[in-house]
Amino acid sequence: MRSRATRVAALAGLLCASTVAASAAVVNLRWERAAAPWPGDVVGALALDAASGRLALGGERGVRLIGGEREIELVRAGVRDLAFLEDGALLAATDDGVWRIDPDGRHTRETLGPGEARRVARIAAGAAGFAAAATEAGVVLRDRAGRWSRRVELPRAEATLVALRARGRDVELWAVIAGGLWISVFPADAPEHSLSAARLVLPESGSGALPLDVAFDLPEADVALVTANGFAVRDADGAWRMLRPSWPPGATPLRFGVARDLRALATAAGLLLAPELAGPWQRAAAPAGSDPSLALAANGRDLVVATHREVLRADGEDIPRADGDSLAPPQDALPAAASLPPPPAGPDIRAVQRATLAYLELQPEIANSLRARAARSRWLPVMSFRVGAERDRFEGRGWDQSFVSGGIRDLYDEGHDRSDDLSLDLTLAWDLGDGVFNPEEIDVSRELRSVIALRDDVLDEVTQLYFERRRALAQLAQPPATEAEAAALRLRSAELAAGIDAWTGGWFTRVLRGPDTPRTGGTR
């Protein structure tokens, strides 16, 4: 049982790695290295200053400011979030409260108020000069003068998300506190001592899904709440609806941003890009789309994403693409691409799925056999075998005298005794209670649930690769506009075929080539 669990864990790791390597990439963005984390640190927070173009990085070891006149480093442990103020100062939410870092490098710890908790999870800034912090004791607001106070009647419980936006002369605050979503609108010029009411919002389609991030004023939505399974979207008329786009397996969202008319989503499976919230969502070009994304910052044309290895920035040039597909080579590199025969379509999807399950040993027959053997094991006895050996040795000597016919006789008696015993015991024991309820079946059931979940993820990934390749082949069958587009579609087909080939252990390539297909250096 333990070896089976180890195999499931290994296949889960293979799923994540192969998904990253084989999925199709959207991407009209090239990437360049913007910075690297401190040795031994991981960047978990990013912020961009629209005015100066400075980039702020935050991790477990502290804050780094890149750009401007000089690079600034501030060692403060546990940086959770970053936000630039309108005057160019940086607010850092840490496990030790909120720190303000001025452009000249001076830093001070902000006073949130008497008795306030020190740990701050999220911070927001930029709405009419206001800022807000989500702490373990609730939400605290910072006014234009830099004073922190509670100007909104919100619960004093742990807050995990806060966001602000300006609405004319008012400020709108959104906060997630104790698992509930709260909204408050208050005048920007209201006196500091005045309190504004807040209301609890429970979107019908989004109930039970805790918001992880918030986006405002998108063309397709007035408000979009990012959840673990999609987007809770509020239209301009106030109606809520739920969008559940198709994300790659393992794509747990962390942060959301908009840049260059693209929606960007930092997930555990890499950076995802889409033209709108409904999708289609596809991976960004490597390396941003091939490594887990931990943080994201977007501002107009600037898009920065942090992985566990490095911080990447989208550079000023876009990758030429054909209908949203991957990089097309220069037109003079493959002058006869359109004249080449199209790659073979390949086997049916059911055959591909069967080959995948057979290669990874995830067929339903194996699971059924495991369950059947667990059921039969209840009637097998517990056998014990014991061997025993016993050896005894005895020696005795006695003396006596007797008087017979006037004479004395000495009598001596000696005795020697020994015994050797060997015993063999064989015991068969049945626990008749196992015939009604076998505890091993619980372990088998738990194991099978993990295998079934893994099998569903594998089949979902292979199915996406298969039909994306078929779409690329269908586009290639149409007269392409340019040689570059034809070459791009061929590269796309080869990329997707390689992904399917990895899941099937080379079976897909062998079927595509067939017995009569010559082996060439072309695409599959």
What does the pLDDT average to over 90-104? 89
pLDDT of residue 316: 55
Q: How far apart are CA 520 and CA 524, in angstroms?
A: 9
Q: How far apart are CA 208 and CA 212, in angstroms?
A: 12
Vertex 206, ends 202 and 211: CA angle to 5°?
85
The full length of the chain comes to 524
pLDDT of residue 143: 87
Specify whether the CB–CB gap between 126 and 141 falls below 8 A: no
Residues in a beta bridge with 288: none
pLDDT in tens, 467-516: 888 888 888 887 765 777 788 788 888 888 888 988 998 899 888 887 54
Q: How far apart are CA 119 and CA 402, in angstroms?
A: 106
pLDDT of residue 388: 85
pLDDT in tens, 168-186: 888 899 999 888 888 988 8
Contacting residues for 122 by C-beta, under 8 A, at least 6 apart: 80, 81, 93, 133, 134, 159, 160, 161, 162
Specify whether the CB–CB gap between 281 and 245 falls below 8 A: yes
Q: Is 493 left (phi over 0), alpha (psi -120 to 50) or beta?
A: alpha
What does the pLDDT average to over 405-422? 78
Does residue 128 register a pLDDT over 50? Answer: yes
pLDDT of residue 224: 92
What does the pLDDT average to over 344-363? 87
27-36, 113-122, 137-146, 317-326: the lowest-pLDDT one: 317-326
Q: How far apart are CA 459 and CA 228, in angstroms?
A: 21
Pair of tokens at residue 14: 């293979």
Does residue 274 register a pLDDT over 80? Answer: yes
Does residue 69 register a pLDDT over 80? Answer: no
Rg for the chain, CA atoms, rounded: 36
Residue found under tokens 């600034």: 72
What does the pLDDT average to over 327-341? 44
pLDDT of residue 16: 46
Closest CA to 206 of 177, 240, 183, 255: 240
Specify whether the CB–CB gap between 114 and 152 falls below 8 A: no
pTM of the model: 0.61
DSSP string, 18-59: HHHHHS-B-----EEEEE-PPTT--EEEEEE-TTT--EEEEE
Closest CA to 67 of 39, 41, 48: 48
Closest CA to 42 of 59, 64, 66, 63: 59
Does residue 323 register a pLDDT over 60? Answer: no
What does the pLDDT average to over 48-76? 84
Q: Please, what's the b/e burial string for 13-37 (b: 16 or more CB within 10 A of its CB; e: otherwise)?
A: eebbebbbebbbbbbbbbbeebbeb
**Percent of the chain whose predicted confidence (pLDDT) is above 70:** 82
Residues in a beta bridge with 35: 311
Closest CA to 128 of 186, 182, 47, 176: 186
Pair of tokens at residue 343: 């790659």
How far is CA 134 from each of CA 58, 159, 292, 421, 460, rounded to the nearest angstrom?
Answer: 17, 5, 25, 81, 37
**Average model confidence (pLDDT) for the chain?**
79
Confidence category of residue 38, pLDDT binned at 50, 70, 90 = confident
Helix 364-376 vs helix 440-477: angle between axes, to the nearest 10 degrees? 170
| Order of strands across the sheet that contains 270-274 | 253-259, 262-267, 270-274, 282-283
Q: What share of the chain is helix, strand, coil (3-state, %, to 5)?
A: 25, 40, 40
Specify whether the CB–CB gap between 105 and 124 falls below 8 A: no
Q: How far apart are CA 454 and CA 366, in angstroms?
A: 14
Contacting residues for 373 by C-beta, under 8 A, at least 6 apart: none
Q: How far apart are CA 178 and CA 137, in angstroms?
A: 10
What does the pLDDT average to over 241-260? 87
Q: How far apart are CA 87 and CA 91, in angstroms?
A: 11
What does the pLDDT average to over 35-46? 83
What does the pLDDT average to over 443-463? 82
